[in-house]
Amino acid sequence: MPLRSFGRIKGRPLRAGQADLVAQFLPQLTVPVSGPGKLDLAALFPSCVDFALEIGFGGGEHLVGQILAKPERGFLGAEPFHNGIAKCLAGLNGAGLLAEPGRSRVRIHPGDARLLLPILPDGLLSVVYLLFPDPWPKARHRKRRILQPDFAHEIRRVLAPGGEFRMATDWQDYADEALAILQRVPGLVGLAGASGDKREPPADHVATRYEAKGLGDTSPVWLRFVRNLDEFHPGL
């Protein structure tokens, strides 16, 4: 098991309404990670034509916004923080996205995304989001950052040809480290010129309250890479 890349799993006790949503809907929406073989995304999302993954969705504001904006897309969301999952379910419910959980366009992995990635099929995700991951700013803790070389190669594997990996961080040294890692992954090409980084968010970005707090040491840096169409070989 890799080093833990996130902080706490639980915070303050859930409110009654949140606890009810978790009890009612999370079992139906949880991604089955223990079955044999790769996850069948077409079976999970029978009405969808493409698929996306958000790693560490926090309170779900970005995830819910993207689901509402892209009705043709099925979304996987990974988040280990129990209170964040509850907030996400409340947002989904408020947006009317839990009316038919059996046909929902979202599935949740309530745990470490690094346990979900290996069961995802090769080359099927249109977008993978990694927005403001735990920065682990102290030098002795940086080995806990989720974006490591092996992780970046797994991201490349699951992206469809032309699919995008989108990362944002407001810690400059994490941006520099992540950029160096991503530039060394064969088949990933930067969208924002040779560097692959940019200060302006993408046009379809959904801002979150966490992002607005500006807890880092720089304004957000966006790293956007796509899987090169010319090198596409599933499982490479």
Write the pLDDT tens digit of every residue in 87-128: 999 999 999 998 776 678 999 999 999 999 999 999 999 999
**Which residue among the candidates 122, 134, 217, 230 is catalytic per the annotation?**
134
Q: Residue 30 pairs with which residues in a beta bridge?
A: 108
The pLDDT value recorded for residue 154 is 97
Lowest-confidence region among 110-119, 169-178, 190-199: 190-199
Sorted by where each begins, the domain ranges of the chain are 16-26+46-231
Q: What are phi and psi of 26, to 5 degrees?
A: -60, -40
Mean of all residue pLDDT scores within the chain: 88
134 is catalytic: yes
**Calpha distance 68→79 (Å, rounded):** 19
The pLDDT value recorded for residue 236 is 43
Domain formed by 16-26+46-231, architecture: 3-Layer(aba) Sandwich (3.40)
